[in-house]
Each structure stands twice: as C-alpha cells, then as structure tokens.
C-alpha cells in the first residue's frame, strides 16, 4: 500500500505503509488447512485444531503505523494525530534510491522476457 507521505530521512515520496502491526493469522491457518483438504484429510485434521489456538496479532497499543521508505530504506513509526517528523530533504539519497528501484524494475523485466 502506497500513500502520498514524505520520508523524514530523504524527503522522497516512495513510502510504504506497513500498517499497525495487526494481522489475521487465524484466517490464514484456516485457509491453509482447507487448501490442504484438497490433498489430504490428514493435514486438515492436523491444522484445524491449531487454528483455534493461534492468536491474531493485535495492533500496536499506541496505534502507531509503521512506514518504510523504498528510496533510502528508512523505517519509522508514526502515531496518527501526532505531528509528522521533521523532514530532511536529501536529493542525492532520492536520486540513488530511484536509480536502484529503476535497476530492480529493469532486472524484473529482463527475467520475465527470458
């Protein structure tokens, strides 16, 4: 998920919202066990009880959202409603990061064409 937020470390706008730490583990385990049913009932019988014991990850207590900058790799937490961290604009970091992303994209495309 990408939002129009600015990285405090480089000033770039390629920032990923990694969410509030919550995850639906129980549903994932149920899905796996139902998928397993297509292959073997044994696997389902094994996983189904486990699903009931797995706890879903709770959101962080302070409600903070984790962000990751794809340009410079900077990771930080922000609590909604509090001021955004001070931003240092560093064009050289943005340029390096953009170049790195471009090369990765090119590499991906090359591999698809193989």
104 close to 112: Cβ distance less than 8 angstroms: no
Q: Which residues within the stretch 18-57 sit at the binding site for Zn ion (CB under 5 A)? A: none
> Which stretch in 34-42, 57-65, 68-76, 84-92 sits in contact with Zn ion by CB under 5 A?
68-76
Q: How far is the CB of 69 from Zn ion (least distance, A)?
A: 3
Q: How far is the CB of 15 from Zn ion (least distance, A)?
A: 7
74 is a contact residue toward Zn ion (CB under 5 A): yes
Number of H helices and number of E strands within the chain?
Answer: 3, 4
7 is a contact residue toward Zn ion (CB under 5 A): yes
User: CB within 8 A of 50, min separation 6: which ones?
Assistant: 29, 33
76 is a contact residue toward Zn ion (CB under 5 A): no
Q: How far is the CB of 11 from Zn ion (least distance, A)?
A: 7
> Which stretch in 29-37, 41-49, 62-70, 98-106 sits in contact with Zn ion by CB under 5 A?
62-70
- H/E run at residue 65: strand 65-69
Here the tokens at position 30 are: 């149920």
Binding site for Zn ion (CB under 5 A): 7, 9-10, 12, 69, 71-72, 74
């Amino acid at each position: 998920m990408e939002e129009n937020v600015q990285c405090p470390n480089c000033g770039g706008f390629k920032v990923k919202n990694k969410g509030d730490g919550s995850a639906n583990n129980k549903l994932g385990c149920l899905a796996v066990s139902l998928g397993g049913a297509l292959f073997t009932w044994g696997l389902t019988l094994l996983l189904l009880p486990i699903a009931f014991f797995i706890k879903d990850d709770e959101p962080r207590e302070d409600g903070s959202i984790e962000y990751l900058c794809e340009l410079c790799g900077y990771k930080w937490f922000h609590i909604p409603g509090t001021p955004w961290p001070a931003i240092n604009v560093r064009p050289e970091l943005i340029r390096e990061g953009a170049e790195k992303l471009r090369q990765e994209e090119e590499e991906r495309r090359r591999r698809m064409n193989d």
